[in-house]
Amino acid sequence: MIRTFIAIDLDDKETKEKIISFSNRLITHQPRMKQVESKNLHMTVKFLGDIHESTAPKIYEILKEEINKELFQGKEFQFQLKGAGQFNRYSVIWIKLVGETEILQKAKDKVENLLYTKLKIAKDKRTKFKPHLTIGRLRFNKVDQSNFEKFKKVINDNKDFDFGVFNVSQIKLKKSVLTPKGPIYYNYKDDGEFES
């Protein structure tokens, strides 16, 4: 079994630098926040969890043919990453993706429907896609209360900050290997292997 998810990678170097600079500022107030590394920044379309390795090429073909070729048709769609926020009482820190996001909702719906009809992979309970980029996680039991207000203020002060562009041209199947130092992600390739 392999732990997998479907996602869109953030490739823009300047945007990555702005995000890492921002999350580094957050870490100064909450040193135990787990920062998403620059190379791992992505927008999750669907978390699959553990799947049989034999299912990976089937999912990959669906994404390649039905989403990347048929829906995206070789085009690149440009969005902005604008405004920091949080989920679950600051356990997840994120940046919102803004723009004409209808194409992303279509991609999400198509992924859900195709995986269910062709592979019997359960659909997500939430049908509305809220595109965002997770940049850090902070467990409740690891919060430094002495600096928590400063930490919250940094997020609030950047609720409208423009972090840069996010270009979308393809959706990828990714494998996640959990390690003590954080997850390592691998992309599924045409040759039938996951590569970093």
**Catalytic residue from among 132, 137, 172, 174:** 132
**Catalytic residue from among 7, 8, 22, 42:** 42
Q: Write the burial class of residue 148 (CB in 10 Å: 0-12 exposed, 13-18 middle, 19+ buried).
A: middle
Helices 148-157, 13-29: inter-axial angle, 10-degree rounding: 150
> Greatest CA separation found in the chain?
52
**Residue type at position 105:** Q
Residue 29 annotated as catalytic:
no
Instruction: Name 47's Cβ contacts closer than 8 Å, sequence gap at least 6.
Output: 5, 6
Residue 42 annotated as catalytic:
yes
CB 72: neighbour CB atoms within 10 A? 17
Catalytic residues: 42, 132
